[in-house]
Structure 1
Amino acid sequence: MNAMNMLFTLTRPDENGPVVLWGGLCESGSLKYLTYEFYLDAVPEDVRGFVEMSGASTALALDLIGRRGGLPTVAVADAAGRDNLMRRGFRGDVRVITSIEEGRELCLRYERAGWCWPRQFTNAALVKCVERWAAHLLREIRQNWPGIRYLVCGFGTGATVAGLHQVFAPLGYSIVGLQAREGDPVPGWRNYALQNLGDQDLFHRYRREIPITTAAEAENLGEGALSSLLRHANAHVSPEQVLVISHDGRPRPRG
């Protein structure tokens, strides 16, 4: 797949409601694939495989890229992340950890052995990779959805939120990251106040200019990222002006 020629799938599921970017209809199955396809252009060809701390879309994207290139992928995640990856068809290996420190040490050992570790929570280069596909998204929004003025995206590493902000904010769009509530985890999301790496964190330099809000309390146990994003968008004073960025969302079949 050539990411630069990719067409995004955007629809308005409900009349007068938000528009949704259905990242799950990408050929890769996730917008994360686009980010890492750009990033891995600069990775040496002799890497032994990919390793990352992820229990959601990043691990799935690296797994697909790795399989297409004949390379293994190792996901380093807690038990909940492991279960989420298994439900979603991850084919690599999962190493279960109980702390961030344990995960970083494990990834470092793989990196020293010749594996590619993107370091997604601290690697500012990933923001630039998001900017590349976000520029294509901006052109499509301005051409086909001129009423959009606000974007909301789940907050994980912060790379997608920051990349969208860099591209859209200079033209007057508002971008917000939606983070998980304390004690109410969402696969792939984090709560920045509780789970950050200080001044080493990828999002540290953006924390004062990009607003992060916390998802409302889930109505149903196990409610996913898309439901939280849609509830937030529908609570906006003008939901029809909101674009929801769903990394791996797929619209329900009609009928």
Structure 2
Amino acid sequence: MRGVFSLSRPRAGGPVVLWGGAQPSGSLKYLTFARYLAAMPPGSRGLVEMSGASSALALDVLGRERSLPTVALTDAAGETYLRAHGFQGEVRKAGSMSNMFEQAHALERDGWCWPRQLTNRALVACVEAWASGLRAQVRERFPTVKRVVCGFGTGATLVGLTRVFTVGGFTVTGLQPAAGQPLPGWRTWETQNLGAEDLFFEHQPRLPLATAAPAPDAFTALMEWARRQPHPEQVLIVAHNAREPDTARA
């Protein structure tokens, strides 16, 4: 997957940004789920996921590429975010996580493909597949980068990036939202996890999670965190669905 990444340093002396919005779905999740769905059994009736952000957007595009309908299970805020970002599938709102699981299970029994992103450890390998190409590109174009930061959602991206980048001498940090400041696609581990079943459970003791300062959106939270570091020029921000502005420069 070398060559698919949009990388630049928007400001001299600042962090480098991986503009995930350059992907067809407007999200790096497209690369992760495209690899996962390559092994999808034939005959699936559609795609379903518990998501109100990047995962649902990616699956929506992948579903249309395969002529399959997509259902996103989320809350009212998630529906608003998805529609504002071009989601064309069906949104089913649920008042609780347990109700989302019930609806997803029902669709799965009816022949729909449910990636189970919160618990499916196979998704980590799907992230590793594109992260290796990213690491090679970063080393070539921005050799001073030593740290990687991404938003913490399911944890699959964080774990996959950690496995690939730490081998090369990088450190990787997952960023959680500030207290009382929810961000689409992000979660707080202490209060939002599924226990031992959670994809991130076995990794949590050894993978660092930091907390963002209050910010209006995920990209701003990532940028502000990077700028507070002793050497922001050594930081790579992994921005799942941010798009490079015309003023960005290497």
Task: Give the alignment partner of residue 85 of structure 1, picking from 82, 86, 101.
Answer: 82
CA deviations over 1:14-61 (Å, ceiling 9, x no partner):
110000000101233211000000001111121000000000010000
Displacement of 1:212:
0.5
The CA RMSD measured in Å over matched residues stands at: 1.1
Tell me the equivalent position of 1:250: 243
Tell me the equivalent position of 2:233: 240
| Secondary structure at the counterpart of residue 59 of structure 1 | helix
Structure possessing the higher relative contact order (Cα contacts under 8 Å, 6 or more residues apart) = 2
Tell me the equivalent position of 2:139: 142
State how 1:37-186 maps to structure 2 within 5 Å.
37-186=34-183
Displacement of 1:5:
5.2
Tell me the equivalent position of 2:15: 18
The amino acid that maps onto 1:85 is L
The amino acid that maps onto 2:55 is T
Identical columns (%): 50
State how 1:224-239 maps to structure 2 within 5 Å.
224-239=217-232
Q: Distance in 1 between matches of 2:214 and 2:242?
A: 20
- Residue pair 2:2, 2:137 contacting (<8 A) in 1 also: no
Q: Distance in 2 between matches of 1:208 and 1:224?
A: 27
The amino acid that maps onto 2:234 is Q
| Secondary structure at the counterpart of residue 49 of structure 2 | strand
Poorly superposed stretches of 4+, deviation over 6 Å: none
Q: Which runs of 5+ in 2 are unaligned?
A: none
| Secondary structure at the counterpart of residue 94 of structure 1 | strand
Corresponding pairs, count: 248
Q: Which runs of 5+ in 1 are unaligned?
A: none
